[in-house]
Amino acid sequence: MILLLILIAGPFPLPLVGKFPQIGYYAWKNGGLVGGLNEIKMKYGKVFTLWMGPIPTVHVADYDVAYETHIKRAHTFGHRYSEGGMDYIREGRGIIASVGDLWVEHRRFALHTLRNFGLGRNIMEEKIMDEYRYRFDDFKKTHWKNEAVQVQTNTFFDYLVGSIINQLLVSERFEYGDQEFEKLKKYLTQTLENLSLLDVFAPLWLLKSDLMKWRTQTTLAPFDYIFGLVKETIQKRVETIEKGEHFISEEGDDFVDAFLMKMKKDKEDGVNSTFNLESLSVDLYDLWLAGQETTSTTLTWACVCLLNHPKVIGKMRKELGHVTGGNRSISLTDRAHTPYLNATINEVQRIASILNFNLLRVLKEDTTIDGQPISAGATFSTQLCLLHTDEANFKNPTEFQPERFLENNNLEKKLIPFGIGKRSCLGESLARAELYLILGNLIMEYDLEPVGVKPELKTPSPCAIMKRPPNYDIRFVPRNR
């Protein structure tokens, strides 16, 4: 395997530590991991090898290669690499990091269940807009200052997006000031701002050892608290059912109900099932993390972009006013008539591109990438951050320019914030609906004002796995005053 992998160009590895020191140097030299990877791409081409310690990993930095591998040969390139930090809680379970039949079965169940609860239908729009209205009404009670809602941006979107996904999963919204939610978000932020390549590639036994305790306390250990809350929520539901305080309707009220119904049916049918309370805990943990953090982070980045580009807001309002007549909310049915809003959302997702380093996959059979032989067992990834900053497709990639998607109708297909192929995000339709409805209606109904200095289009975590937005306060000023 190693001999074949070395055929793909890349920086020469050092014994044991591989390319970690060089990757760190490139990241330091270029102001972050994305800049460092881009320099490596320029030197070694659109497909290159990086050794993460003793592990050789192949990285795709070209859309056409990504499409050919992940779409045309999806079966070969659809297996998740789930070692190290990815397996810290999951241990081979869940929807994000599991593999084989278990992954297929649980992903299919999650998709089917979420669709039953409105994903992709009008009922989901109603749920999103109900929560959007509730959040503004609620924050007006606690954060009303000088004729505006003045709030930390990520806090506002965390409660809004978190409650949308939480109601789908467990029929509960988070009320402002909820101590468990505040602690959860504190731990999650701590983890995502510090999680590094070391935490991804170090063996799980090493991460859990006393030797690495200093590290896991600030990176992976906070996930224990989040997972504990998930398990506690499930246990409460089971207890209320046993006490006759909660009755599961014919289709269930939420994801947990549907999962418990599946468990009961499999037991009655004598099926040797992977659906049990432990796997429910991991599935719920995966769905909540994915449904909460990605969209909330993107919306926080969106406000950074818009605060720095007020002309974009003006163009969006002109278009939305024409479509709605200024007397109704924007709806998902308006998408075909709002090209500038669509382009702005695309550009926000491209700029945000919230993973500095994409999740890895592993090959189960010998194959080729861009004509070069790769052996079974090789790990690889399509680096979305490199595709979204590719000068060949996105001229002046650091600049926020929604117009680029209007000038080139084919550009949108090369924007893949939800991933590509079999492992793309299963919550894509929900996230797209949230971004469209929340941003569209927010711009129509409120002026955006920074509190103090405008936040910069710059991440505070350039070398972490996740590209976090800056922390800043914002004023949402009602336009109908």
Residues above pLDDT 70, as percent of the chain: 95
Residues 396, 301 share a domain:
yes
Mean pLDDT of the chain: 90
Residues 181, 64 share a domain:
no
Q: pLDDT confidence of 15, banded at 50, 70, 90?
A: low
Residue positions in the annotated binding site for heme? 425
Terminus-to-terminus CA distance in the chain, angstroms? 67
Q: Which of 189-193, 254-258, 345-349, 358-362 has the lowest mean pLDDT?
A: 189-193
Residues 26, 107 share a domain:
no
**91 is written with which tokens?**
């241990």
Q: Which of 8-12, 110-114, 306-310 has the lowest mean pLDDT?
A: 8-12
Residues 81, 227 share a domain:
no
Residues 401, 288 share a domain:
yes
Q: Tell me what the mean pLDDT of segment 270-293 comes to.
A: 92
> Cα–Cα distance between 419 and 305 in angstroms, integer?
22
Could you give the strand order of the β-sheet that contains 446-450, starting from the edge strand earlier in sequence? 149-152, 473-478, 446-450
Residues 474, 392 share a domain:
yes
Residues 257, 143 share a domain:
yes
Burial class (CB in 10 A: 0-12, 13-18, 19+), 469: buried
Residues 63, 113 share a domain:
no
Predicted confidence at residue 376, as pLDDT, reads 86
Residues 316, 174 share a domain:
yes
Contacts 24+ apart (CB under 8 A), 117-126: 117/168, 117/254, 117/255, 118/168, 119/168, 119/429, 119/430, 120/429, 122/332, 124/430, 124/433, 125/331, 125/332, 125/433, 125/437
CATH number at residue 78: 3.30.43.20
pLDDT digits 0-9 by tens, 98-117? 888 899 999 999 988 888 87
At 48, phi and psi to the nearest 5? -145, 160
CB count in 10 Å sphere of residue 120: 15
Predicted confidence at residue 161, as pLDDT, reads 96
Place of tokens 């350039």: 462
Q: pLDDT confidence of 13, banded at 50, 70, 90?
A: low
Its domain, for residue 373, covers 1-91+356-387
Residues 114, 49 share a domain:
no
Residues 363, 397 share a domain:
no
* Backbone torsion region of residue 31, taken as left when φ is above 0, otherwise alpha when ψ lies between -120 and 50, otherwise beta: left
Q: Tell me which DSSP letter residue 17 carries.
A: T
Q: pLDDT confidence of 364, banded at 50, 70, 90?
A: confident
CATH number at residue 128: 1.10.630.10
pLDDT digits 0-9 by tens, 165-190? 999 999 999 999 999 999 988 888 88
| Tally of structural domains, the chain | 2
Q: Tell me what the mean pLDDT of segment 83-91 comes to.
A: 83
Predicted confidence at residue 120, as pLDDT, reads 59
Residues 164, 151 share a domain:
yes
> Cα–Cα distance between 216 and 212 in angstroms, integer?
6
Whether 373 has a pLDDT exceeding 50, the answer reads yes
Q: Which residue has the higher pLDDT, 124 or 305?
A: 305
Residue positions in the annotated binding site? 425
Q: pLDDT confidence of 90, banded at 50, 70, 90?
A: confident
> Cα–Cα distance between 361 and 355 in angstroms, integer?
15
